[in-house]
Structure formats: C-alpha cells, structure tokens
Amino acid sequence: MKVLSYNVNGIRAALNKGFAEWLKVSQADVICIQEIKALKEQVDTKVLEDLGYHHFWFSAQKKGYSGVAIFSKIKPNKVEYGSGIDHMDFEGRIIRADFDKVSIMSLYLPSGTNIDRLEYKFKFMDEFQGYINELKKEYPNLIICGDYNICHEAIDIHDPVRNKKVSGFLPEERAWLDGFINSGFIDSFRLLNSEPHHYSWWSYRANARNNNKGWRIDYALVSAPLKENIKRSFILPEAKHSDHCPVGLELNF
C-alpha cells in the first residue's frame, strides 16, 4: 500500500498546476490532502474519479479556509468526518478512512501565526493527544498523515538557531510532538532516513525553495504495531503544486 500526504495550499489551485497529472504518475493507493480551501461542490471531482479514486472531503465552515480530504483507490470500510470535538471540526482539520488492516487519518494541525492562534494551537494539540489516545484503543493500526506545523528536531529545519523563537520550532511545540510520537508512533521518514536537508515546506520569500531553506513539518506517523510493515518512506520535493511537497510511505501487508 502506497500512502502519500500533501498540503496542497488550495486544491483548485493545485489542479490548475497539474496536480491530477502528477497524481496519476504517483501511483498512490491513498493520498491524504490538507488545506483544500474549498467545498467538494467547488471542485471538478470527475478528474479524480477518472483516475480511479474514491474521494472524501471535510471542509471548514469558513469558506476558502483549511479543510482536509482523502482520495483512495481502495474503497474504505468506513470514513469518519471530523473528531467529534466541535472546535476542531468547525475548521475541517481531521478525516479518517478505515481499511481492513489499517486506519489512515489526514490531519491539518493549526499554525501559530499570532498569539491567539498559538494559544489555539496548544489547545488543539492537547485535546488531539487525548482523542488519539482513545482512538488507538479501537484502531491500534493507525497512520496519521498530515501537516503538523511543527519541526521535531534541529535536523528538520534549515536554521534551528534563528528559528528557535518562531512558531513551528518553539521548544514547547517540539516537546509536544516528541511526547506525541513517544505515545506510540513512529516517524516513518526518520525510521529509514537519517540525513539532513530533507524538508517538506518552504517559504515563498527569499527564493527559499531553490536554496532548500525549508522546514520538515509534514509527517506520516505510524502506530508502533505497524513498524514491521513499513517498507519505504520518502519526501517528494520535485512535486511543485504548493509551498509544501508530498511525503509518503509504502507498507507491506
């Protein structure tokens, strides 16, 4: 099973930049999408259906904002829209598809762009941890793909010294992600790749992408019982439909 995760920064914009053609070549069985910035009705979904994908959308209440989706060639047994926690679901940040041997979640964790949003980010993270602790009891084979808006370690950011007081690399955010991973997850990329300079997001400013001055904030976190199933993990920086790029893994069952 090949699973990808991609913050597309607007699905309609990504489609206009060749996303569908790229998706066809990618051969993904399941792709988790974040920041769709659209309602399902605003998207030409026939192009996805023509590629053989079932598609499931969970948009924010606010138009043109946030939102997540899952496209899958394998028909899920069940799709869960949201978490049941009102403030998370109002912003369209969680969708999950359950398959025979694994459950896959698309997550868009808030960014801390200002003090109010940073406070909300910590509230979200705290309640998300509790939600996942309970969910894992029912679905122990869980993969949480998405944009976490946090770099875990210094190796995951191009300039750890200058960014240590910037949201996304604050000590408190990193400590939360560390605790979340240690609660029973594996960073699938770091399991198989220990080299620096691998990033999944670049600022649009200062030619950051061409200079590879990036941040690794997109993850495919895999619950511990699936560790032996992880065959390959990777980042695809050559895909350029967004300020993010896709991350992914392959599992053997």
Residues assigned a catalytic role: 147
Name residue 215's beta-bridge partners. Answer: 157, 201
93-116 per-residue burial string, b: 16 or more CB within 10 A, e: under 16? bbbbbbbeebbbbbbbbbbbeeee
| DSSP secondary structure, 50-118, as one string | HTT-EEEEE--SSTTS--EEEEESSPPSEEEES-S-HHHHHTT-EEEEE-SS-EEEEEEPPP--SHHHH
> What is the DSSP code (8-state) at residue 243?
S
What is the distance between the alpha carbons of residues 74 and 32, in angstroms, rounded to a whole number? Answer: 13
What is the distance between the alpha carbons of residues 192 and 14, in angstroms, rounded to a whole number? Answer: 29
What is the distance between the alpha carbons of residues 30 and 2, in angstroms, rounded to a whole number? Answer: 7
CB atoms within 10 A of CB 89: 17
Which amino acid belongs to residue 202?
A: W
Give the CA-trace dihedral at 231, 235, 236, 238, to 10 degrees. Answer: -140
Write down how long the chain is.
253
The 3-state secondary structure of 134-167, one letter per residue: HHHHHCCCEEEEEECCCCCCHHHECCCCCCCCCC
